Amino acid sequence: MTISVTPNPNGFGAAIRDVNLSNGLTAEDIADIRGAWLDHQVVFFPDQPLEHDQLEAFTNAFGDFGNDPYVKAIDGYSNILEVRREPDEAVAPFGGSWHSDWSFQETPPAATILHAKIIPPVGGDTLYADGIAAYENLSESMRGELENLQAVHSARRPYSHEGYKASGGPDRSMTILPNDDAWATQLHPIIRTHPESGRKALWVNPVYTLNVHGMSEVESARLLDELFKHALSDEFLYAHKWQNNMLTMWDNRSVQHCAQGGYDGHRRVLHRTTLAGDQPV
């Protein structure tokens, strides 16, 4: 039996069924899942109970683990992070601002994988933004203006010692590991070419993108504000509804995301891995 893929109406996001991830994947399964992931950018697998070893095996079926700094991993599993929020936690959800995971790295993750362990009965959606559609809906003149521009990315806002305190890090149930390394910067193209599909994406995000390289502070802020507003237009968004034991994988090379709240008084727990990527071009 081959996997079944049910895309969302606009093609951004798709459900994958008729595969048991706990049993391991055949070469055909891997090729089919990778194809669906490249086509739809966000893919999700309902009703997939997984142990830690099985989550790691699923990740490694598609490549090597990514490098995940600044958050303490699960004991005994250095490549699995636990995204947890307790019922009485007063701070905003982890990942609650728009971002592309670890875009401050020289080679950010190709994919982020989340497996749902405890999902509250209300709230807790994840919003995804389609960077390919955002690029394709830019005017020709704007595409030309952006084509050779680079942006400065950094982890300083959430993960420097100052950012950690300002964002309520000490009050989280998750163990955040702030570090002075978060002040480092990395240049990446504003328009990124996908290394597998060849499609172009608008690739800036409000958390890690600080400014446009070579522009004045005023010019940079104006342009980034315009690009953020465009990239996060309703027409490019998908609101993902979680279920217990659902696994979701998205293409970090063209998608940004934002965790939603709305579940105060309830516990929410997911386990996360990343897939190693390449240098954006």
* Catalytically active residues, by annotation: 99, 101, 257, 272
Q: Where are the alpha helices (DSSP H) in 47-136?
A: 52-60, 131-136
CA dihedral 190, 196, 197, 202 (to 10 degrees): -10
Distance CA(224)–CA(151), nearest Å, equals 9
How far apart, in whole angstroms, are the C-alpha atoms of residue 185 and residue 154?
5
Tell me the backbone φ, ψ of residue 122, rounded to 5 degrees.
-135, 155
Dist CA 55 CA 108 (whole Å): 20
Instruction: Record the tokens describing residue 61, joined without a space.
Output: 């079926």
| Region for residue 59 given its phi and psi (left: phi exceeds 0; alpha: psi -120 to 50; beta: otherwise) | alpha
Which residues lie closer than 8 Å to 196 by C-beta, 6 or more apart? 38
Token pair 């599993």 in the structure block, residue: 77
Could you give the C-alpha distances from 46 to 6, 33, 241, in angstroms and in order?
12, 14, 11
At residue 180, the 3 state secondary structure works out as helix
